Structure 1
Amino acid sequence: MARRVAVPAGPLGDDFSFVSPVAKYVLFFFNLLFWFSVCLTIIFLLQLAAGVLGFVFSDEVLGGAVGVLGDPSAVLLGDSPPFVPQARGKVSEIINGAIVHYRDDLDLQNLIDFGQKEFSCCGGVSYKDWSQNMYFNCTATNPSRERCSVPFSCCLHDPDQVVINTMCGHGMQARGYLEASAFIHTNGCIDKLVNWTHSNLFLLGGITLGLALPQLVGIILAQLLINQIRDQIKLQLYNQQHRADPWY
């Protein structure tokens, strides 16, 4: 049903306006804040992971991510049985693909190193997953100088160490778990990343809500402003008709 506007008993002054300046300027502020946030986000993403975006957000990976989040109620309610296996499979696919392309892009390499140091992990399931990379592959036919090695981000670093030894992971894949654990993190990153995501769902949901709330307010203000503009147009038409025909 169309919204009806109360018709004034007589012509109002030309300076009268239904359009609220408060709504107009608040809407302008929210739009400005939104586009400023978008620009900052784009710049941050380009600087942090420009090389990995094409891989992570490919059609296959994006489709899987949508599938994981296909039931938002289950995710928000912490219904872990359907969420964790799907999330683990998708994270495993992404991490294993990133391991294969580790040396192909510097931004991807820095992102993986940051993740392994932040979560104190190495590889997908274990440090031996680095054999999937052609440079770290541990087969006897691999001529690479990094054969059977792992990236330095897998190493157990001494807090007092000033200079990082980038060769600390040399030959670690050839060692057993117990022996290697004295020098590197032997546990994989998949379970740690999935567990971190699942334990921070409410935090991630709050961030998402915080990003969506200004847009919701902007939509409401925009609709309010549209209605006020329509009322103003009707008022102007009414005043014009009243001036042309006082008996109208």
Structure 2
Amino acid sequence: MAVEGGMKCVKFLVFFFNFIFWVCGVALIAIGIYAQVALGKVLVVSSGSSAGTPVAILVLGVIIFFISFFGCCGAWKESYCMVTTFAVLLSIIFLVEIAAAIAGYVFKDKVRSVLKEGLQEAMSKYEEDPALTEELDKLQRDFECCGANNYTDWANIKQFQANDTVPRSCCRVNTTTCNVHPTPETVYEKGCQESIEVWLKKNILVVAAVALGIAFFEILGIIFACCLMRGIRSGYEVM
């Protein structure tokens, strides 16, 4: 009876941790949607690889959501095949998350160069692409920045070079002359690259905390799933 009671406890622990995974999956979906919306104005001026990051988070959340549901069914029905499949899939996801974290650390400097190139490319197409122009203006207003490095970057753009002007979205004060012969007193002095990097560093802590929490529960889930697999395979009745 002691073994039976212990396996019954493991069964409900697997069920409980799968519920936690389900919540984590929902959290990742929410983070992915938030990142897609909040970074939309940034991603529109970046490369396709950067734009895929929120989508990747969203997809991972959906996968964890469905795997946790699969694990709950396996634990409740005491199915060795389903619990085994759950443990294997969860292990693969855990390894993928580790690989993604390592890749993110290795290529963290690449993000800066991609961001800078994206901003400069968007500036060169300013007023040529209405949608891109609108997003770049919104970016400069929301982040209170101007240009990639600073407001003097606009002096290299053809349509602003001759008249020594900058876009109205750079203006500190909404006046008719703020974007003519710009100075740090009339336009945002800080570049958008720096502003976005500060924003990312501040918010990446939240993402890292969520990722660590999910990884912790994944390890526990794998351990308990393996224990339940052993109990089912040994022929003990799990109530």
Question: Given the two structures, how large is their TM-score scaled by the length of structure 1?
Answer: 0.54
| Offset from partner CA, 1:35-68 (integer Å, 9 cap, x none) | 2122222332343444753652435999xxx989
Deviation digits for residues 162-187 of structure 1, max 9, x if unmatched? xx56x5555x2xx2x6xx34422345
Q: Is the 8 A contact 1:121 1:186 kept in 2?
A: yes
Q: Residue in 2 aligned with 1:156?
A: 172
**What is the rounded CA distance, in whole Å, between the counterparts of 2:210 and 2:133 in structure 1?**
26
Structure 2 CA distance for partners of 1:108 and 1:226, relative to 1, 3 Å: farther
- More displaced stretch, 217-226 vs 12-21: 12-21
1:116-143 deviations in Å (ceiling 9; x for gaps) = 3455431123324225556x4434xxxx
For 2:134 and 2:185, locate their aligned partners in 1 and report how far apart those are by CA, in whole Å: 24
Is the alpha carbon distance of 1:101 and 1:229 closer, same or farther for their aligned partners in structure 2, counting shifts above 3 Å? farther
> Contact 2:46–2:114 at 8 Å: present in 1 too?
no
Cα RMSD, aligned residues only: 4.2
Q: Which residue of 1 aligns with 2:214?
A: 215
- In structure 2, how many angstroms separate the alpha carbons of the residues matched to 1:71 and 1:58? 16
C-alpha distance in structure 2 between counterparts of 1:51 and 1:118, whole Å: 9
Structure 1 residue runs without a partner (length 5+): 1-11, 73-82, 140-146, 158-163, 240-248
Q: Is the 8 A contact 1:52 1:108 kept in 2?
A: no
Evaluate the alpha carbon distance shift between residue 56 and residue 24 of structure 1 in structure 2; reply closer, same or farther with a 3 A threshold. same
Identity %: 17
Equivalent residue number for residue 75 of structure 2: none
Q: 2:123 aligns with which of 99, 104, 124?
A: 99
Amino acid in structure 2 at the alignment position of 1:42: G
Please name the residue that 1:142 is paired with. Answer: none
Distance 1:214 1:107, change over 3 A: farther
- Which runs of no fewer than 5 residues in structure 2 stay unpaired? 53-101
Larger Rg: 1
Residue 122 of structure 1: SS of its match in structure 2?
coil
124-133 vs 32-41, which moves further = 124-133
Which residue identity is paired with 2:16? V
